Structure 1
Amino acid sequence: MTGTTGRVALVTGASSGIGAATARLLAARGMRVVVNYLSSSKAAEEVVADIEAAGGQAMAVQADVREVAAVDNMVGQVQAAWGGVGVLVHNALIPYAVKSFQDMTWEELGGKLDAEMHAAFAVTKAVLPAMTEQGWGRMIFISTGLSRRPRENMIALGTSKAALEQFGRYLAQELGPQGITVNIVAAGPVEDTRMARMTDVFDEEHKRRQVAATPLGRLAHPADVAQAVAFYAGEDNAFMTGTTAAVNGGMTMY
């Protein structure tokens, strides 16, 4: 196998936004891409159609990544069709409450933490045997700058993503000897995503302040995040693991 051509990449939550942009880019770079989705079958099939129209290979597979049986079934389908997954991009957005700690219940905070980590645990467990057998693997977890820089009413998302990032670092330490890298892409505010469309929470004035706080003068597009993911997913990334790429135009620097 030359480079990543022919590698199987599983992108969770890939029917729109960052996931869809990532699926298209990885396919353009020669990977066979699994477009995972929860409920948007039409959108997922459109991503597959776009990839195939451009000469790539893709399949759409439905699975709720919070459910172990569903994840195992999905990976089994991929294994039967294409073989083992070599690249995991865990992007699926787990729902969360947008409110202050004072107004939040434990079910809202603890539920988000549990669902976030359960999903990451399930997809990682499912793809790991094939990566171990291949002696090669790339895992990329999509996070947010809110894991390090708090913002009003975002405690559920920021806390759960901080846990996800530390999970990724522990995996990087353990799996490095097996030829598997694990990295984080921490996105700043991104246009054209479900989160960006929450107009009841993030109005135009909020967006204007975010742009003003960004040295590069705009918010990220899904393609900006996909570019960072694609680097981590490829052969060029031979010696970076346990790292975090901040894709935020300089809004937060660390």
Structure 2
Amino acid sequence: MDAAIYRRLDELFREGTGEHCFRRRPNYDRIAADLPRATVDIVLYGAIRSTHSGIDDRTSRSGHSDRHADQRSRGMITGTGRVALVTGASSGIGAATARLLAARGMHVVVNYLHSEAAAEEVVAGIGEAGGHALAVQADVRETAAVENLIEQVQARWGGVDVLVHNALTPYAIKSFQDMTWKELGGKLDDEMRAAFTVTKAVLPTMTAQRWGRIIYIGTGLSRRPREGMIALGTAKAALAQFARYLAQELGPWAITVNVVEPGPVEDTRIAGVLDDENKRRQVAATPLGRLALTGDVAQAVAFYASEDNAFMTGTTAAVNGGMAMY
């Protein structure tokens, strides 16, 4: 039977394109005349259909057509066809996430604030690897700027299916006793304003198609305080609770909302706060024996962004090598 399956799979691909073959149904009328061949077709159809059920079943359950399925059938989009917006994607975790999502077939919007050259370098690298990406400048705290970003994306690829909100707004590193309300309250306002603004902008498409993925990048500092990091830790704790409320509200539209909370990550701004001695202590406290890499964080984000994550929402992934377990 294994040999017959491989032979029939080869025949199916010769009869039409791979995309067409994935969607074709076996001819059940042939069963009586050619039982072995029809049985192989049924086995193949069931196996292949199950791997694509995230596309077809979404349409049948919701009663809404999948605009990406339509575009794929016209050859307009390759891979998953999903459009992902990654804020703050010119470097660090954002850049690693943009590259990984593009490698997995998504069309990626590389958002940046000031670093145009770095963002274009990320886009160029994705293109060289055969992916699709677009760099768009926007301050995600500003409604008009985000609306303009969304308009550019819609003109190019349609609405945003996946939001990865990674942009890190400035914050003061000092003790509470030395901190002003402008420094603490300003960080809280920036953090929540950015999350509010960019989330509001992407929801119309997600609710209309009854599918979406929202991932916020938090920090372990929201749970485990560290000296001088009260502004960042408090703001990210607010973001994590915001995500849980959204998860509860948006569940009926099949929109999942989750948080990825890294510990210290090499080659990022937060890691730069640690001197060599602090880094050694952090590594010593980590069961896996090293600090996180940007790619480690990107892998967690990519799972939350994928079709595979159909039933996890309101959760937090701690990417810290076991430094904190929760």
Deviation by residue 1:161-198 (Cα, 9 ceiling, x = unmatched): 0000000000000000001000000000000112223x
Report the 3-state secondary structure (helix = DSSP H, G, I; strand = E; otherwise coil) of the residue aligned with 1:102.
helix
Query: What is residue 323 of structure 2 aligned with on the other side?
Result: 251
2: CA distance, partners of 1:202 / 1:232: 29
What does 1:128-143 correspond to in 2, within 5 Å?
128-143=203-218
Distance between the aligned counterparts of 2:204 and 2:159, measured in 1? 8
Q: 1:239 aligns with which of 311, 322, 325?
A: 311
> Percent of aligned pairs with the same residue?
80
Does the 8 Å CA contact 1:215/1:251 hold for their aligned counterparts? yes
- Of residues 210, 213, 220 in structure 2, which corresponds to 1:145? 220
AA in 1 matched with 2:261? A
What is the root-mean-square deviation in Å for CA atoms of aligned residues? 1.1
Structure label with greater radius of gyration:
2
- The match for 2:130 is 55
Quick check: which one's strand share is greater?
A: 1
Residues 4, 234 of structure 1: 8 Å contact kept:
no
Report the AA paired with residue 214 of structure 1.
Answer: T
Are 1:109 and 2:178 counterparts? no
Structure 1 CA distance for aligned equivalents of residues 246 and 190 of structure 2: 19
Alignment partner of 1:31 out of 106, 115, 126? 106
**Residue 202 in structure 1 maps to residue 274 in structure 2:** yes
Residue 33 and residue 205 in structure 1: after superposition, are their counterparts in 2 closer, same or farther (change >3 A)? same
Give the structure, 1 or 2, with the largest relative contact order (CA under 8 Å, sep 6 or more): 1
**Matching residue's letter, 2:146:** V
Runs (4 or more) in structure 1 with deviation over 6 Å come to none
Give the superposition deviation at 1:4.
Answer: 7.0
* Equivalent-residue separation in structure 2 for 1:150 and 1:4 (angstroms): 41
If the length of structure 1 is used for normalisation, what is the TM-score? 0.97
Q: Please list every run of 5 or more consecutive structure 1 residues that lacks an aligned counterpart in the other structure.
A: none
| TM-score, normalisation: structure 2 | 0.76
Question: In 1, Cα distance between the equivalents of 2:268 and 2:95?
Answer: 10
The letter of the residue matching 1:79 is: Q
Q: What is the number of residues matched between the two proteins?
A: 251
